[in-house]
């Protein structure tokens, strides 16, 4: 039963990640930043960074839920439970830092 649950979980994660958008920025950010000259341009960039920060925050929340599951039911995952927990903790840290950086960029563009 445990193996079936683990296999189903891994297949689901693999399928979801395979369907993920490969280009996270629909626009060329370097070009957009270089060409930003008006208040509207900087507002658009700030909005983009705020949206990216929200996406990162949501991903961090999703991994916090997964981490909670791995912590409360580690017996379901066997020896891999510690690896899953460490992986989630690392991703939470990365996503939270990315959200902070995006908010910082948004703030800078709002000040321009």
The domain of 60 spans 50-112
> Do 99 and 53 form a contact (C-beta atoms < 8 A)?
yes
Is residue 25 scored above 60 in pLDDT? no
Could you give the CA distance from residue 19 to residue 63 in angstroms, rounded to a whole number?
18
Q: How deeply is 99 buried, as exposed, middle or buried, from its count of CB atoms within 10 A (0-12, 13-18, 19+)?
A: buried
Q: Evaluate whether residue 95 is within a structural domain.
A: yes
Q: Evaluate whether residue 22 is within a structural domain.
A: no
Query: Which one has a higher pLDDT value, 110 or 17?
Result: 110
Average pLDDT over the chain, rounded to whole?
A: 83
Is residue 22 scored above 70 in pLDDT? no
For 29-69, write each residue's pLDDT tens digit.
Answer: 667 676 677 888 888 899 999 999 999 999 999 999 999 99
Is residue 104 scored above 60 in pLDDT? yes
> Do 88 and 67 form a contact (C-beta atoms < 8 A)?
yes
Could you give the CA distance from residue 89 to residue 63 in angstroms, rounded to a whole number?
8
* Number of structural domains found in the chain: 1
Q: Evaluate whether residue 14 is within a structural domain.
A: no
Q: Evaluate whether residue 20 is within a structural domain.
A: no
Average pLDDT for 78-83: 93
Average pLDDT for 77-88: 94
Q: Evaluate whether residue 94 is within a structural domain.
A: yes
């Amino acid at each position: 039963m445990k193996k079936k649950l683990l296999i189903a979980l891994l297949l689901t994660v693999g399928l979801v990640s395979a369907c993920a958008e490969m280009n996270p920025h629909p626009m060329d950010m370097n070009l957009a930043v270089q060409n930003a000259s008006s208040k509207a341009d900087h507002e658009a960039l700030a909005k983009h960074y705020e949206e990216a920060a929200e996406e990162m925050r949501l991903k961090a929340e999703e991994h916090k839920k997964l981490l909670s599951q791995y912590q409360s039911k580690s017996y379901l995952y066997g020896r891999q439970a510690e690896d899953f927990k460490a992986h989630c903790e690392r991703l939470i840290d990365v996503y939270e830092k990315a959200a902070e950086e995006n908010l910082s960029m948004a703030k800078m563009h709002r000040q321009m």
